[in-house]
Amino acid sequence: MIRSLRRKFILIAMASLVGTMVILCTAIGIGNHYITTNRLDHAIALLRQNGGAFHPPGARFDPSAFDFQITPETPFETRYFMVKLTAEKEIKSVSMDHIAALDRRAVVDTIQRIIDTKAARGYVDHYRFGMFPDKNGGSTIIVLDCFLQLQSANNMLRITVIMFLICVLIVFVLLLFLSKRAIRPFADNLERQRQFITDASHELKTPLAILSADIGLLEDTYGRDKWLESARSQITRLDKLIKNLVELARTEETVKEDAVVCFSISEVAQASVDAFRPLAEADGKSLTAEIADGIILKGVQDNFFRLFSILLDNAVKYCDPEGVIRLSVSQRGRNIYIAVSNPCAGVNAAQLPRYFDRFYRADSSRARSTGGYGIGLSTARAIVTRHKGRITNHYVNGVITFTAVIPQIS
């Protein structure tokens, strides 16, 4: 359980970090792209306003006329060209005074691609363009070479992603070392609970044994009566409850290597069915089994005798009168499937996940009449979990089914 809790702690922490960093990186990338595009569009609008220049022809250069997006150096570092089109989208004139890397053919090809986009503004390769209608029905296209700006934005994104990966790696390494300390209070508390259950069980056994002996003496002296029978019944219930608690505590302990063996789970299942079939028939119910032959599992064999005992005992107790209890054991791939089902009226589907909680009883009066304590299914889940499996339940058409899936570890 502690290892599982530690893995979940690391997984949740890493998922939270990765999710936050992905959102942050995405926001930085989108924001950087937006700022770059906005600055380019501002420059294009200024060129359009001044007829292809950053300040009106004949006007003196005024640095105060530029805002934070356009600096006094922008006119000298910006490479661009301007094309005028006729109403039929034919090239009327080309101004290439502010760009030297392109010849007329390259400009014509770029303009044609811009026309094909049918957009008023956008990107074509590393060029940002703006298309503006003229009064004579034609249009003017201003194209900026934004290779450096886009490269800077892409470099910023790459650096952000690299820093993100480095942060994730650092946090993961830190979590590997610090997660033990983070869950240590829970682990210590769990160990104290187990120790308390073990100590309390030993302390309670002595007075229960004395009470049982005293009741025996009273029966020998005064004979049996309903009061003594009631007292003995309660002692028996307490003794059974203590044994179940101790078993649950031991089941949740770490598996010892010498207790793990390879065994036939098919034979364990069949032996359990043979043991419970007379009990079911005596209660007016029937028990059928579909068990695949030769399924081998590596684990604690006694645990699986207990697992089948819990599931079958639970089915016999809560199966409807004259109902049919079904058990199946099969293998698909590297997973072993154990399923026990029985008809049971009045099950609240919303409460099904709580069936595996300690001391939970869906119907207290019925559980009390059948001798239930709400510990059996908790023990079943602990057995399956310690073997790296999972157990679930579902209720369909009046039939409740418990399914355990256990990986076949080689």
Helix 147-222 vs helix 226-251: angle between axes, to the nearest 10 degrees?
150
Place of tokens 């570092």: 77
What per-residue confidence (pLDDT) applies to 1? Answer: 62
The 8-class DSSP code of residue 352 comes to G
Q: Concatenated DSSP letters for 271-336?
A: HHHHHHHHHHHHTT-EEEEEE-TT-EEEE-HHHHHHHHHHHHHHHHHHSPTT-EEEEEEEEETTEE
What per-residue confidence (pLDDT) applies to 220? Answer: 81
What per-residue confidence (pLDDT) applies to 400? Answer: 92
**β-strand partners of 83:** 94, 141
- Nearest Cα to Cα of residue 119 among 107, 131, 135, 133: 131
pLDDT of the chain, 410 residues: tens digit per residue = 677 778 888 899 899 999 998 999 899 889 988 988 988 888 888 888 887 777 766 555 555 555 545 667 777 778 888 888 888 888 888 888 888 777 888 888 888 899 888 888 999 988 999 999 888 888 899 999 888 888 988 898 899 899 999 999 999 999 888 888 877 887 777 777 777 767 777 677 778 778 888 888 888 887 888 788 888 777 877 777 777 677 666 666 555 555 788 999 999 999 999 989 988 998 899 999 999 998 999 888 888 988 999 899 889 988 998 899 999 999 999 999 999 999 988 888 878 888 887 766 665 444 445 555 567 788 888 889 888 899 999 998 889 999 999 998 75
What per-residue confidence (pLDDT) applies to 255? Answer: 53
What per-residue confidence (pLDDT) applies to 265? Answer: 93
Where does 258-407 sit in CATH, by number?
Answer: 3.30.565.10
* Residues 6 or more apart in contact with residue 319 via CB below 8 angstroms: 280, 285, 325, 342, 343, 344
What per-residue confidence (pLDDT) applies to 59? Answer: 54
Domain-by-domain residue ranges, the chain?
78-145, 258-407
The 8-class DSSP code of residue 75 comes to H
Using a CB cutoff of 8 Å and minimum separation of 24, what contacts does 159-165 make? 160/25, 160/28, 160/29, 161/25, 164/21, 164/22, 164/24, 164/25
What per-residue confidence (pLDDT) applies to 374? Answer: 65
- Nearest Cα to Cα of residue 163 among 329, 310, 22, 45: 22
Q: How far is CA 252 from CA 194, 201, 370, in A?
A: 9, 16, 26
What per-residue confidence (pLDDT) applies to 56? Answer: 65
End-to-end CA distance of the chain: 22
What per-residue confidence (pLDDT) applies to 365? Answer: 46
| Backbone phi, psi, residue 98, to 5° | -110, 20
The answer to whether 39 and 149 have CB atoms below 8 angstroms apart is: yes
What per-residue confidence (pLDDT) applies to 235? Answer: 81
Q: Is 329 exposed, middle or buried (0-12, 13-18, 19+ CB in 10 A)?
A: buried
What per-residue confidence (pLDDT) applies to 250? Answer: 65
How far apart are alpha carbons 123 and 210 in whole angstroms? 91
